[in-house]
Amino acid sequence: GLIDPVIGREKEIEQVIEVLNRRNKNNPVLIGEPGVGKTAIGEGLALRISEGNVPGKLKNKEVISLDVASLVSGTSYRGQFEERMKQLMQELQSQ
């Protein structure tokens, strides 16, 4: 679908691109209270990728948003969360 332009988050989007473009330790995590702009940063990254306005390493990549609370929900036994994550990663890799 179409992504609206992101306003006021250019610095954070650049920081995420910088982290993703690293050789090592290239896993950015966006955390914060609801409404602070985490989703906007992800959408800004997706928009930049779709426009080709990213380093070559990131061109044609896909942005996926995870709702970690939903992944954790109902995982009362040891290993259930890990199993869900493993299944999710396998599903994403098969696409």
Q: Give 24-73 pLDDT, tens digit per residue.
A: 999 999 999 999 999 999 999 999 999 999 999 999 999 988 888 888 99
Write the pLDDT tens digit of every residue in 5-25.
Answer: 889 999 999 999 999 999 999
Q: What is the pLDDT of residue 1?
A: 59
Burial 59-91 (b: 16+ CB within 10 A, else e): eeeebeeeeeeeeeeeeeeeeebeebeeeeeee
Total-model pTM: 0.79
The Cα–Cα gap between 67 and 16 comes to 19
Contact 84/41 with Cβ under 8 angstroms?
no
